[in-house]
């Protein structure tokens, strides 16, 4: 196994320290905090929650269509019954 020369290790440490202390690191942290704050304010939902709501809406639409068909059928029956009663 080849050992990394000491000066290379020291250079890597110094470069890492320089990068940690640059304004870029602060800017990145600030942007991440800002983005997280904006996402919280947007009141977003997870994909799973979205899918659950989508399924519930689909079922509600299906039930509504069935009820509308039933009402139409009952209205037609009532209209037919009303015609038979009229002299």
- From first to last of its 87 residues, what are the pLDDT tens digits of the chain? 556 567 777 877 877 777 776 777 778 778 888 888 887 788 778 899 999 999 999 999 999 999 999 999 999 999 888 777 766
CA–CA dist 13, 75 (Å, integer): 83
Tokens of 24: 């870029």
- pTM, 2 dp: 0.49
- Residues 9, 19: one domain? yes
CB 64 within 8 Å of CB 58 = no
Tokens of 61: 């639409």
- Residues 24, 50: one domain? no
Tokens of 17: 């320290």
- Residues 31, 55: one domain? no
CA–CA dist 17, 9 (Å, integer): 12
- Residues 49, 38: one domain? no
- Residues 38, 66: one domain? no
- Residues 30, 15: one domain? yes
Domain region containing 76:
45-87
């Amino acid at each position: 196994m080849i050992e990394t020369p000491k000066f290379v290790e020291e250079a890597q440490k110094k470069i890492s320290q320089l990068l940690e202390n640059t304004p870029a690191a602060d800017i990145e942290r600030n942007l991440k905090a800002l983005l997280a704050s904006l996402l919280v304010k947007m009141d977003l939902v997870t994909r799973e929650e979205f899918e659950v709501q989508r399924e519930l809406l689909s079922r509600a639409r299906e039930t509504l269509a069935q009820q509308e068909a039933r009402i139409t059928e009952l209205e037609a029956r009532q209209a037919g019954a009303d015609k038979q009663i009229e002299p």
